[in-house]
Chains A and B, each alone.
Chain A
Amino acid sequence: MEALARLAGLDRALAEHREDVIAAFSQASAHRGVMHAPEDPAAEPWPPMQAGTNL
């Protein structure tokens, strides 16, 4: 957690609000754990890819 926080530039938050950084890390982990990854490798994201004529 600490390494990821430093990588994100949250050194000051780590020093001054460590418990909040830990809480944020826990929240992110919890969300990631509940979501089902799409089984179809070709499943596209939202919003749909819509290439126009002016790329």
Chain B
Amino acid sequence: MSDELHWLGAAEATRAFAARKLSPVELVKGLHARIDTLDPQLNVFIRRDDEAALAAARAAEAEIAAGRIRGPLHGVPVGIKDIIDVAGLPTTCHSRVMPGSNATADAACVARLRQAGAIVMGKLSTHEFAIGGPSHDLPFPPARNPWNRDHHPGGSSSGSGSGLAAGFFPLALGTDTGGSIRNPASACGIVGLKPTYGLVSRRGVFPLAFSLDHVGPMTRSVADNALLLDCLAGHDPADAGSAVAPRAYYAAGLERGVRGLRIGFVRHFHENDLIADPEVAATLDTVAKTFAAEGAEIREVRLPTLGEFAAVNRIILTSEAWSIHAPWLRSRPGDYGKLGRQRLMAGAFLQAGDLVAAQRRRAAMIAEVQTVLRDVDVLLCASSMDPASRIDDEAATARTYPRQARTPFNVTGHPALAMLAGVSSGGLPLSVQFAGRYFDEAMVLRVARAWERAAGTDKRHPPLG
């Protein structure tokens, strides 16, 4: 067991509970103390729910002592991005546009976590409506990066990424429409998985763009990510986009390594479409060489360009988002922050033909990626092209935020995971991304685990004390 409670993983915690070496109450109290100390500088939480978390921890402690284990996450704390409904708490979407009324029911993903025994710690910072940020003109301050508080933590699931890296909880939920799970995973050096479109229910999650939205697990280790996905995945007839997929146990094959796998390296993303920071490029080469040394075959592959993926993503995203936000943008534009207002209003200037053209191009892009994935088992590529910029440097943030390779897998719906690949000379996380075939999250997680084991990325934490 880790000497420090705040770095305990979910699997480690449940083993400690079962062995009576730790109780859920001790863990939750320990995390509350850490949050008390560090969150005033990190702004991870929009709303803490300390009393409910402690009550749930006491109940879990009694049930575990009596041998009544509710599920694989019994007694494990989890943070929830604040566009996801938690019964009895308001869903603010980090915006003054939203009414302050409490959600009457848990989102499907939260209900699944409670069924597995998890303890909800509170609601976490995001970009306004998962698109407008990082911003300083919203009702709550933006989350900051635990590796260096002067830098942004990525977004839009910014509180989820920052809180995991800071040791506030071992599990968190994020959402990803254009990269919003994988951006904070990259900036904060944790593990963020956007599952296959439709694998995790979106019921009870405030929509950004219906055909691009995904809910997914964010954790500090690959094993915990698989464990969390095991609890989240499954068909929901109340979500129109929910898939009927075969049941998988994502943690089962994690340690199988990469020997014999064919890994497609998408070099043109970071060497031609965008020119990555040299430290990012060198780190990606290290990942590829490590896998080759472990017996994988590395093949260079080509996909459509990042520029076109981004354009298709943005045309669909802003068109769908406009249909949601138009009434508010017309009547109370001043209640939005500047970035959210600008990005959401873009949909007003696209025509019906633009949206249909983007959806037609999307179908062709999906076919192109499917063709490549017939010949390789998994794709290796960049996630962010740069380490996180300073949060107060609006120009640098505006320049570097779009320099990413995450939108392709929102457009196509393939599963994609971003994680720590190294640390820059400036002390900030560098990242790598793996993407796989539809519903083959097990393969993506297996390759991620091989990298984690080789590089020891799950043992690297920010120097917070």
Q: Which of B27-35, B338-346, B371-379, B414-422 participates in binding chain A?
A: B338-346
Interface 1/0s, chain B 112-124, versus A by CB < 8 A? 0000000000000
Main secondary structure of the interface of A (DSSP, over half): helix
- Complex CA gap A34/B312 in Å reads 9
- Report chain A residues within 8 Å CB of B356: 45
Main secondary structure of the interface of B (DSSP, over half): helix
- Complex CA gap A1/B361 in Å reads 26
Interface 1/0s, chain A 14-55, versus B by CB < 8 A? 001100110111011111111111100001111110000000
Nearest B-chain residue to A39, judged by Cβ: B364
A36 touches B361 (CB 8 A): yes
B349 touches A13 (CB 8 A): no
- Report chain A residues within 8 Å CB of B315: 31-32, 35
Rounded to whole Å, the gap between the CB of A10 and the closest CB of chain B is 6
B359 touches A28 (CB 8 A): no
B348 touches A10 (CB 8 A): yes
Rounded to whole Å, the gap between the CB of B402 and the closest CB of chain A is 11
- Report chain A residues within 8 Å CB of B358: 35
Rounded to whole Å, the gap between the CB of A38 and the closest CB of chain B is 5
B354 contacts partner chain A, Cβ-Cβ < 8 Å: yes
B329 touches A23 (CB 8 A): no
- Report chain A residues within 8 Å CB of B330: 8-13
Query: What total of chain A residues lie within 8 Å of the partner, measured CB to CB?
Result: 34
B341 touches A35 (CB 8 A): no
- Complex CA gap A28/B211 in Å reads 19
B343 touches A43 (CB 8 A): no
Contact A38 B361, CB 8 Å, known A8-B326, A27-B314: yes
- Complex CA gap A9/B331 in Å reads 9
Contact A46 B349, CB 8 Å, known A28-B318, A37-B357: no
A24 touches B348 (CB 8 A): yes
Contact A12 B326, CB 8 Å, known A20-B342, A34-B311: no
A residues engaging B (CB < 8 A)?
1, 4-5, 8-13, 16-17, 20-21, 23-25, 27-38, 43-48
Q: List, sorted by A's number, 17 A–B pairs whose CB atoms are closer than 8 Å.
A: A8-B326, A10-B333, A13-B329, A20-B342, A24-B342, A24-B344, A24-B345, A27-B314, A30-B311, A31-B310, A32-B311, A34-B311, A35-B308, A35-B315, A38-B364, A46-B359, A47-B211
B residues engaging A (CB < 8 A)?
211, 307-308, 310-312, 314-315, 318, 326, 329-331, 333-334, 338, 341-350, 354, 356-364, 366
